[in-house]
Chain A
Amino acid sequence: MAGFLDNFRWPEFECIDWGESRNAVASIVAGVLFFTGWWIIIDAAVVYSKNGELNPAFHTCGVMSTVAFFMINAVSNGQVRGDGYSDGCLGRTGARIWLFVGFMLMFGSLIASMWILFGAYVVLKVNVYPGLAVFFQNALIFFSSLIYKFGRTEELWA
């Protein structure tokens, strides 16, 4: 019973050469997710800001997620491993701290958006759409940053 899927293989889709264009596909997917997240919150802000249904302070999560996205993607994986000929402006340890802070901001914003959804909308039994918008904005930015960071390979840069 254990391992019964071991010999399963996905069907082959070899029509496109994914190797060379992997980075481009990852960048495009990340772009779609990131900007869709922002347009979801813009939509909520346009439709729901009349009666204070979307407290403007809730935009903070999205802003911090975006800052975290650019922090995470500002350092390459090579910098963090210590490859490369130069130390960059922070060196290897500085790059690791920068990445650590970036990921903490990203996770923190995601958790904050969940807290907002549940604490300010679900529990109070008001219209839940603005809370969902804040949550989806941050979730989409989170996944976008994961794809942009880990979906690209740095071997194609050499």
Chain B
Amino acid sequence: MVPGRGRKWDRIRSREKMAGIKALVGLSFSGAIGLTFLMLGCALEQYGVYWPLFVLIFYFLSPIPSFIARRLGDDSDAASSACRELAYFFTTGIVVSAFGLPIILARVAVIQWGACGLVLAGNAVIFLTILGFFLVFGRGDDFSWEQW
């Protein structure tokens, strides 16, 4: 079977696209759940303050080091590179910071501990979603910006 020609190849490619769409729907659902936890931590009657929304900055920053590393150094087939490892280092830092900020806000009683717990749960779900995006849509023989 020659890749790229024939009905069998079309069926395989359409199954891959279907799997891609299912993963996309699943990931967007979990993203919505994570953001729901975050908003609950801010908007419930007994909490009412919106300081935890600052973790949204960390959500947006977290994929950036990986994107930079892929753009700068994707030429060789090396298993790893110094650039990619530095990107992992900073990404981990951004994730740790997104967990640290609500804890510190709760320590100084700017938010309540219940809100802190909800925000931490939302963080976990969102970062697992972002990781899922990278695992499902980031690999592939030809990393392109549109996977389907």
Report which A residues bind B (CB closer than 8 A): 20, 23-24, 26-28, 30-32, 34-36, 39, 42-43, 46-47, 76, 148, 152, 156-158
Q: Is A31 in contact with B88, judged by CB distance below 8 angstroms? A: yes
> Which of B13-21, B90-98, B116-124 has 4 or more CB atoms under 8 Å from chain A?
B90-98
CB of B100 closer than 8 Å to a CB of A: yes
Which 5 residue pairs of A and B lie closest in terms of their CB atoms, listed nearest first?
Answer: A31-B92, A39-B100, A35-B96, A35-B93, A27-B88
Q: Is A42 in contact with B89, judged by CB distance below 8 angstroms? A: no
Q: Is A31 in contact with B89, judged by CB distance below 8 angstroms? A: yes
List 10 additional A-B contacts (Cβ < 8 Å) besides A24-B85, A27-B92.
Answer: A23-B85, A24-B88, A27-B86, A28-B89, A31-B96, A35-B97, A42-B104, A43-B104, A152-B85, A156-B79
CB distance from A49 to the nearest CB of B (A): 11
CB distance from A59 to the nearest CB of B (A): 16
User: Which single member of A23, A35, A36 contacts B80 (CB below 8 Å)?
Assistant: A23
Q: Is B92 in contact with A42, judged by CB distance below 8 angstroms? A: no
For B104, list chain A residues within 8 Å (CB).
Answer: 39, 42-43, 46
For B86, list chain A residues within 8 Å (CB).
Answer: 27
For B81, list chain A residues within 8 Å (CB).
Answer: 157
CB distance from A142 to the nearest CB of B (A): 16
What is the bound-complex CA distance between A111 and B121, given in angstroms?
Answer: 38
Report which B residues bind A (CB closer than 8 A): 78-82, 84-86, 88-93, 96-97, 100, 103-104, 107-108
What is the bound-complex CA distance between A30 and B87, given in angstroms?
Answer: 12
What is the bound-complex CA distance between A31 and B92, given in angstroms?
Answer: 5
For B108, list chain A residues within 8 Å (CB).
Answer: 46-47
What is the bound-complex CA distance between A35 and B93, given in angstroms?
Answer: 5
Q: Is A31 in contact with B90, judged by CB distance below 8 angstroms? A: yes
User: Which single member of A76, A152, A158 contacts B78 (CB below 8 Å)?
Assistant: A158
CB distance from B122 to the nearest CB of A (A): 18
CB distance from A115 to the nearest CB of B (A): 26
Q: Is A157 in contact with B80, judged by CB distance below 8 angstroms? A: yes
For B103, list chain A residues within 8 Å (CB).
Answer: 39, 43
